Amino acid sequence: MKIIEFCDTTLRDGEQAPGNTMKPKDKLLIAKKLENIGVNVIEAGFPASSKEDFEAIKLISSHLKKATVCSFARCVEKDIDIANESTKGAKNRMLMIFYAISDIHLKNKYNTNRKDAMEKIKNSIRYSKQYFKRIKFGLEDATRADPKYLHQVINLLLNEGVDTIALGDTTGWITPLETFKLVKNVVYQVNGKVKISIHCHNDLGMATANTLSAIMAGVDEVDTTVNGIGERAGNTPFEEIVVSLVVRKDIFKRKINIKLNALMPLSELVYKIINRTPSHEKPIVGVNAFRHESGVHIDGIKKDPSTYEIFNPKKNWTQARIFIWKTFKQEMTC
Protein backbone atom coordinates (compact mmCIF):
# COMPACT_ATOMS: atom_id res chain seq x y z
CA MET A 1 0.00 0.00 0.00
CA LYS A 2 1.41 3.39 -1.00
CA ILE A 3 2.61 5.60 1.86
CA ILE A 4 1.54 9.24 2.05
CA GLU A 5 4.21 11.55 3.40
CA PHE A 6 3.47 14.79 5.21
CA CYS A 7 5.19 18.13 4.74
CA ASP A 8 4.00 20.32 7.58
CA THR A 9 4.01 24.04 6.95
CA THR A 10 2.47 25.25 10.23
CA LEU A 11 5.69 27.10 10.99
CA ARG A 12 5.84 28.84 7.60
CA ASP A 13 2.46 29.16 5.83
CA GLY A 14 0.59 28.82 9.12
CA GLU A 15 2.68 31.38 10.87
CA GLN A 16 2.54 33.99 8.10
CA ALA A 17 -1.19 34.64 8.57
CA PRO A 18 -2.17 37.63 10.70
CA GLY A 19 -2.10 36.93 14.43
CA ASN A 20 -0.08 33.72 14.16
CA THR A 21 3.43 34.99 14.86
CA MET A 22 5.44 32.51 16.90
CA LYS A 23 8.66 32.93 18.85
CA PRO A 24 11.64 30.68 17.98
CA LYS A 25 11.32 28.73 21.25
CA ASP A 26 7.62 28.07 20.55
CA LYS A 27 8.42 27.01 17.01
CA LEU A 28 10.91 24.52 18.40
CA LEU A 29 8.25 23.02 20.70
CA ILE A 30 5.93 22.52 17.72
CA ALA A 31 8.73 21.15 15.51
CA LYS A 32 9.67 18.55 18.15
CA LYS A 33 6.04 17.43 18.43
CA LEU A 34 5.75 17.26 14.62
CA GLU A 35 8.85 15.08 14.46
CA ASN A 36 7.53 12.86 17.23
CA ILE A 37 4.12 12.37 15.61
CA GLY A 38 5.78 11.18 12.38
CA VAL A 39 5.81 14.15 10.00
CA ASN A 40 8.50 13.64 7.34
CA VAL A 41 9.31 17.22 6.35
CA ILE A 42 8.97 20.31 8.52
CA GLU A 43 8.87 23.58 6.61
CA ALA A 44 10.29 25.63 9.42
CA GLY A 45 10.05 29.18 8.11
CA PHE A 46 11.16 31.81 5.63
CA PRO A 47 14.58 32.84 6.98
CA ALA A 48 15.09 35.78 4.61
CA SER A 49 11.88 37.38 5.88
CA SER A 50 13.07 38.13 9.42
CA LYS A 51 15.85 37.63 11.93
CA GLU A 52 13.46 35.73 14.20
CA ASP A 53 12.60 33.27 11.44
CA PHE A 54 16.29 32.76 10.73
CA GLU A 55 16.93 32.07 14.43
CA ALA A 56 13.95 29.71 14.63
CA ILE A 57 15.16 27.60 11.69
CA LYS A 58 18.68 27.50 13.10
CA LEU A 59 17.32 26.35 16.45
CA ILE A 60 15.05 23.71 14.92
CA SER A 61 17.87 22.49 12.64
CA SER A 62 20.11 21.85 15.63
CA HIS A 63 17.47 19.84 17.53
CA LEU A 64 15.72 17.56 15.05
CA LYS A 65 17.09 14.04 14.64
CA LYS A 66 14.83 12.34 12.15
CA ALA A 67 12.58 14.78 10.30
CA THR A 68 13.86 16.85 7.38
CA VAL A 69 14.10 20.58 8.01
CA CYS A 70 12.91 22.53 5.00
CA SER A 71 13.78 26.17 4.52
CA PHE A 72 11.67 28.43 2.32
CA ALA A 73 13.13 30.77 -0.32
CA ARG A 74 12.11 32.84 -3.31
CA CYS A 75 14.02 32.50 -6.60
CA VAL A 76 16.46 35.07 -5.26
CA GLU A 77 20.15 34.30 -4.64
CA LYS A 78 20.20 36.12 -1.29
CA ASP A 79 17.21 34.08 -0.06
CA ILE A 80 18.93 30.84 -1.07
CA ASP A 81 22.18 31.89 0.67
CA ILE A 82 20.24 32.63 3.88
CA ALA A 83 18.29 29.36 3.63
CA ASN A 84 21.62 27.55 3.42
CA GLU A 85 23.04 29.40 6.43
CA SER A 86 19.94 28.78 8.54
CA THR A 87 19.90 24.99 7.99
CA LYS A 88 23.65 24.26 8.19
CA GLY A 89 23.24 22.47 11.54
CA ALA A 90 20.49 20.14 10.35
CA LYS A 91 20.93 16.38 10.15
CA ASN A 92 18.50 16.21 7.23
CA ARG A 93 17.62 19.31 5.25
CA MET A 94 16.10 20.47 2.01
CA LEU A 95 15.26 23.69 0.23
CA MET A 96 11.74 24.73 -0.70
CA ILE A 97 12.02 27.25 -3.49
CA PHE A 98 9.02 28.66 -5.30
CA TYR A 99 7.89 30.67 -8.30
CA ALA A 100 4.38 31.55 -9.44
CA ILE A 101 3.41 30.28 -12.89
CA SER A 102 -0.09 31.65 -13.57
CA ASP A 103 -0.28 34.56 -16.03
CA ILE A 104 -2.01 36.65 -13.35
CA HIS A 105 0.99 36.29 -11.03
CA LEU A 106 3.61 36.57 -13.78
CA LYS A 107 2.14 39.87 -14.89
CA ASN A 108 0.98 41.44 -11.62
CA LYS A 109 3.63 40.23 -9.24
CA TYR A 110 6.78 39.80 -11.27
CA ASN A 111 6.02 41.90 -14.35
CA THR A 112 7.60 39.17 -16.44
CA ASN A 113 6.67 36.70 -19.17
CA ARG A 114 6.53 32.91 -19.37
CA LYS A 115 9.90 32.55 -21.12
CA ASP A 116 11.84 34.73 -18.68
CA ALA A 117 10.13 33.00 -15.75
CA MET A 118 11.45 29.63 -16.98
CA GLU A 119 14.95 31.11 -17.16
CA LYS A 120 14.66 32.40 -13.59
CA ILE A 121 13.43 29.01 -12.34
CA LYS A 122 16.29 27.20 -14.08
CA ASN A 123 18.99 29.57 -12.78
CA SER A 124 17.64 29.45 -9.23
CA ILE A 125 17.68 25.65 -9.12
CA ARG A 126 21.25 25.59 -10.46
CA TYR A 127 22.29 28.18 -7.88
CA SER A 128 20.61 26.19 -5.05
CA LYS A 129 22.45 23.02 -5.98
CA GLN A 130 25.77 24.36 -4.72
CA TYR A 131 24.26 24.04 -1.22
CA PHE A 132 21.32 21.65 -1.24
CA LYS A 133 21.17 18.01 -2.28
CA ARG A 134 17.40 17.95 -2.00
CA ILE A 135 15.17 20.60 -3.57
CA LYS A 136 11.41 20.90 -3.51
CA PHE A 137 10.12 23.29 -6.14
CA GLY A 138 6.79 24.94 -5.37
CA LEU A 139 4.71 26.05 -8.33
CA GLU A 140 2.69 28.88 -6.86
CA ASP A 141 -0.80 29.40 -8.29
CA ALA A 142 -0.29 26.27 -10.44
CA THR A 143 -4.02 25.57 -10.44
CA ARG A 144 -4.77 28.84 -12.27
CA ALA A 145 -1.88 28.44 -14.73
CA ASP A 146 -2.33 27.48 -18.38
CA PRO A 147 -2.06 23.64 -18.33
CA LYS A 148 0.24 23.77 -21.39
CA TYR A 149 2.63 26.09 -19.56
CA LEU A 150 2.44 23.93 -16.41
CA HIS A 151 3.46 20.98 -18.59
CA GLN A 152 6.46 22.92 -19.95
CA VAL A 153 7.59 24.06 -16.51
CA ILE A 154 7.35 20.52 -15.14
CA ASN A 155 9.54 19.29 -18.01
CA LEU A 156 12.07 21.95 -17.06
CA LEU A 157 11.98 20.81 -13.41
CA LEU A 158 12.49 17.21 -14.51
CA ASN A 159 15.52 18.24 -16.61
CA GLU A 160 17.00 20.28 -13.76
CA GLY A 161 16.61 17.39 -11.32
CA VAL A 162 14.52 18.52 -8.37
CA ASP A 163 13.32 15.97 -5.80
CA THR A 164 9.74 17.11 -5.29
CA ILE A 165 7.33 19.26 -7.28
CA ALA A 166 4.61 20.96 -5.24
CA LEU A 167 1.44 21.97 -7.02
CA GLY A 168 0.16 25.08 -5.29
CA ASP A 169 -3.54 25.89 -5.13
CA THR A 170 -2.41 29.17 -3.65
CA THR A 171 -5.77 30.93 -3.80
CA GLY A 172 -8.07 28.02 -2.92
CA TRP A 173 -9.44 28.07 -6.45
CA ILE A 174 -9.66 24.48 -7.59
CA THR A 175 -12.43 21.90 -7.03
CA PRO A 176 -11.99 18.21 -6.15
CA LEU A 177 -12.78 16.85 -9.62
CA GLU A 178 -10.41 19.33 -11.28
CA THR A 179 -7.73 18.44 -8.72
CA PHE A 180 -8.07 14.78 -9.57
CA LYS A 181 -7.68 15.42 -13.32
CA LEU A 182 -4.77 17.83 -12.90
CA VAL A 183 -2.83 15.57 -10.55
CA LYS A 184 -3.47 12.50 -12.74
CA ASN A 185 -1.95 14.33 -15.71
CA VAL A 186 1.08 15.49 -13.72
CA VAL A 187 1.66 12.03 -12.20
CA TYR A 188 1.51 10.56 -15.71
CA GLN A 189 3.94 13.20 -17.00
CA VAL A 190 6.60 12.74 -14.30
CA ASN A 191 6.29 8.95 -14.41
CA GLY A 192 7.81 8.40 -10.94
CA LYS A 193 10.95 10.47 -11.60
CA VAL A 194 10.12 12.98 -8.85
CA LYS A 195 7.74 13.14 -5.92
CA ILE A 196 4.55 15.12 -6.39
CA SER A 197 3.14 17.15 -3.55
CA ILE A 198 -0.14 19.07 -3.25
CA HIS A 199 -0.51 22.37 -1.40
CA CYS A 200 -4.10 23.56 -0.90
CA HIS A 201 -5.83 26.55 0.63
CA ASN A 202 -9.31 26.67 2.08
CA ASP A 203 -10.90 29.80 0.59
CA LEU A 204 -13.96 27.87 -0.60
CA GLY A 205 -13.81 25.27 2.17
CA MET A 206 -12.40 22.64 -0.21
CA ALA A 207 -8.79 22.25 0.99
CA THR A 208 -9.35 18.88 2.66
CA ALA A 209 -11.48 17.55 -0.21
CA ASN A 210 -8.94 18.72 -2.80
CA THR A 211 -6.02 17.23 -0.89
CA LEU A 212 -7.82 13.89 -0.55
CA SER A 213 -8.67 14.02 -4.23
CA ALA A 214 -4.99 14.58 -5.02
CA ILE A 215 -4.13 11.58 -2.85
CA MET A 216 -6.53 9.42 -4.85
CA ALA A 217 -4.96 10.71 -8.06
CA GLY A 218 -1.49 9.64 -6.92
CA VAL A 219 0.44 12.36 -5.07
CA ASP A 220 3.27 11.18 -2.81
CA GLU A 221 3.20 14.00 -0.30
CA VAL A 222 0.70 16.50 1.10
CA ASP A 223 1.36 19.96 2.53
CA THR A 224 -0.69 20.55 5.66
CA THR A 225 -0.79 22.74 8.75
CA VAL A 226 -1.90 21.80 12.25
CA ASN A 227 -5.51 22.96 12.78
CA GLY A 228 -5.45 24.29 9.20
CA ILE A 229 -3.93 27.61 10.22
CA GLY A 230 -2.63 29.70 7.31
CA GLU A 231 -3.21 32.58 4.92
CA ARG A 232 -6.81 33.86 4.68
CA ALA A 233 -9.13 30.85 5.25
CA GLY A 234 -6.14 28.66 6.00
CA ASN A 235 -4.37 25.59 4.63
CA THR A 236 -5.31 21.91 4.59
CA PRO A 237 -5.67 20.77 8.22
CA PHE A 238 -3.20 17.99 9.08
CA GLU A 239 -5.56 16.27 11.52
CA GLU A 240 -8.40 16.12 8.97
CA ILE A 241 -6.23 14.37 6.38
CA VAL A 242 -4.74 11.96 8.91
CA VAL A 243 -8.11 10.93 10.35
CA SER A 244 -9.77 10.74 6.90
CA LEU A 245 -7.06 8.38 5.67
CA VAL A 246 -7.55 6.19 8.73
CA VAL A 247 -11.35 6.22 8.99
CA ARG A 248 -11.90 5.80 5.22
CA LYS A 249 -8.95 3.55 4.48
CA ASP A 250 -11.42 1.42 2.51
CA ILE A 251 -11.64 4.25 -0.05
CA PHE A 252 -8.24 5.94 0.05
CA LYS A 253 -6.11 2.80 0.43
CA ARG A 254 -3.04 4.63 1.69
CA LYS A 255 -0.67 4.01 4.59
CA ILE A 256 0.52 6.72 6.96
CA ASN A 257 3.12 6.65 9.71
CA ILE A 258 1.46 9.07 12.11
CA LYS A 259 0.90 8.45 15.82
CA LEU A 260 -2.81 9.04 16.27
CA ASN A 261 -2.70 9.48 20.03
CA ALA A 262 -0.35 12.44 19.55
CA LEU A 263 -2.83 14.40 17.39
CA MET A 264 -4.72 16.18 20.15
CA PRO A 265 -1.67 17.29 22.17
CA LEU A 266 -0.22 18.73 18.94
CA SER A 267 -3.45 20.55 18.07
CA GLU A 268 -3.71 21.86 21.62
CA LEU A 269 -0.11 23.11 21.64
CA VAL A 270 -0.53 25.06 18.38
CA TYR A 271 -3.76 26.70 19.56
CA LYS A 272 -2.12 27.55 22.89
CA ILE A 273 0.88 29.18 21.22
CA ILE A 274 -1.25 31.36 18.92
CA ASN A 275 -3.63 32.02 21.81
CA ARG A 276 -6.80 30.69 20.19
CA THR A 277 -9.31 27.85 20.46
CA PRO A 278 -10.95 25.94 17.62
CA SER A 279 -14.43 26.78 16.38
CA HIS A 280 -16.90 24.43 18.09
CA GLU A 281 -17.65 22.62 14.85
CA LYS A 282 -14.03 22.14 13.78
CA PRO A 283 -13.69 18.54 12.56
CA ILE A 284 -11.67 16.24 14.85
CA VAL A 285 -10.58 18.87 17.38
CA GLY A 286 -13.61 21.15 17.86
CA VAL A 287 -15.38 21.05 21.22
CA ASN A 288 -18.58 19.76 19.61
CA ALA A 289 -16.90 17.09 17.49
CA PHE A 290 -17.89 14.46 20.08
CA ARG A 291 -20.66 16.17 22.06
CA HIS A 292 -24.36 15.57 21.74
CA GLU A 293 -27.47 17.26 23.04
CA SER A 294 -30.48 15.95 21.13
CA GLY A 295 -32.26 13.18 23.04
CA VAL A 296 -32.51 11.02 19.94
CA HIS A 297 -28.75 11.26 19.38
CA ILE A 298 -27.86 10.65 23.02
CA ASP A 299 -30.10 7.59 23.07
CA GLY A 300 -28.29 6.24 20.01
CA ILE A 301 -24.85 7.05 21.39
CA LYS A 302 -25.60 5.34 24.70
CA LYS A 303 -26.63 2.16 22.91
CA ASP A 304 -23.68 2.26 20.54
CA PRO A 305 -21.49 5.34 19.81
CA SER A 306 -21.14 4.28 16.18
CA THR A 307 -24.79 5.27 15.69
CA TYR A 308 -23.72 8.91 15.45
CA GLU A 309 -19.91 8.90 15.65
CA ILE A 310 -17.98 7.49 12.71
CA PHE A 311 -14.89 6.90 14.78
CA ASN A 312 -14.23 6.37 18.44
CA PRO A 313 -11.97 9.00 19.94
CA LYS A 314 -11.49 6.85 23.03
CA LYS A 315 -9.75 4.17 21.02
CA ASN A 316 -7.08 6.11 19.18
CA TRP A 317 -7.72 9.70 20.01
CA THR A 318 -7.66 9.27 23.79
CA GLN A 319 -6.58 12.82 24.24
CA ALA A 320 -9.61 14.25 22.45
CA ARG A 321 -12.00 14.04 25.36
CA ILE A 322 -9.34 14.90 27.90
CA PHE A 323 -8.63 18.07 25.93
CA ILE A 324 -12.27 19.05 25.90
CA TRP A 325 -12.61 18.39 29.61
CA LYS A 326 -9.54 20.37 30.43
CA THR A 327 -10.46 23.32 28.28
CA PHE A 328 -14.15 23.66 28.84
CA LYS A 329 -14.70 21.68 32.05
CA GLN A 330 -17.96 20.34 30.70
CA GLU A 331 -19.08 16.81 31.14
CA MET A 332 -19.44 14.79 27.99
CA THR A 333 -22.97 13.73 27.31
CA CYS A 334 -22.00 10.30 26.04
Q: Are 160 and 125 in contact (CB under 8 A)?
A: yes
Q: How far is the CB of 183 from Mn ion (least distance, A)?
A: 17
**Binding segment (CB under 5 A) for Mn ion, from list 5-13, 15-23, 70-78, 91-99:** 5-13
Of residues 2 and 232, the one with the C-beta less far from Mn ion: 232
Q: Rounded to 10 degrees, what is the CA torsion of 27, 33, 38, 39?
A: -20
What are the distances in angstroms from CA 159 to CA 167, 199, 259, 321?
Answer: 17, 22, 37, 50
Number of residues that bind Mn ion (CB under 5 A): 1
For residues 11-30, which are near Mn ion according to CB under 5 A?
Answer: 13
Of residues 230 and 305, the one with the C-beta less far from Mn ion: 230
Q: How far is the CB of 99 from Mn ion (least distance, A)?
A: 13
140 binds Mn ion (CB under 5 A): no
Of residues 224 and 319, the one with the C-beta less far from Mn ion: 224
Of residues 219 and 264, the one with the C-beta less far from Mn ion: 219
Of residues 52 and 203, the one with the C-beta less far from Mn ion: 203
Closest C-alpha among 103, 109, 95, 101 to residue 153? 101
Q: How far is the CB of 287 from Mn ion (least distance, A)?
A: 27
> How far, in Å, CA of 262 to CA of 135, rounded?
29
Q: How far is the CB of 236 from Mn ion (least distance, A)?
A: 10
Output the CA torsion sign for 316, 321, 326, 328: positive
Question: Which DSSP symbol is given to 106?
Answer: I
> How far, in Å, CA of 110 to CA of 195, rounded?
27
> How far, in Å, CA of 273 to CA of 157, rounded?
37
**Binding segment (CB under 5 A) for Mn ion, from list 9-17, 18-26, 39-47, 110-118:** 9-17
Q: How far is the CB of 168 from Mn ion (least distance, A)?
A: 6
Q: Are 207 and 201 in contact (CB under 8 A)?
A: yes
Chain residues that interact with Mn ion, rule: CB under 5 A: 13
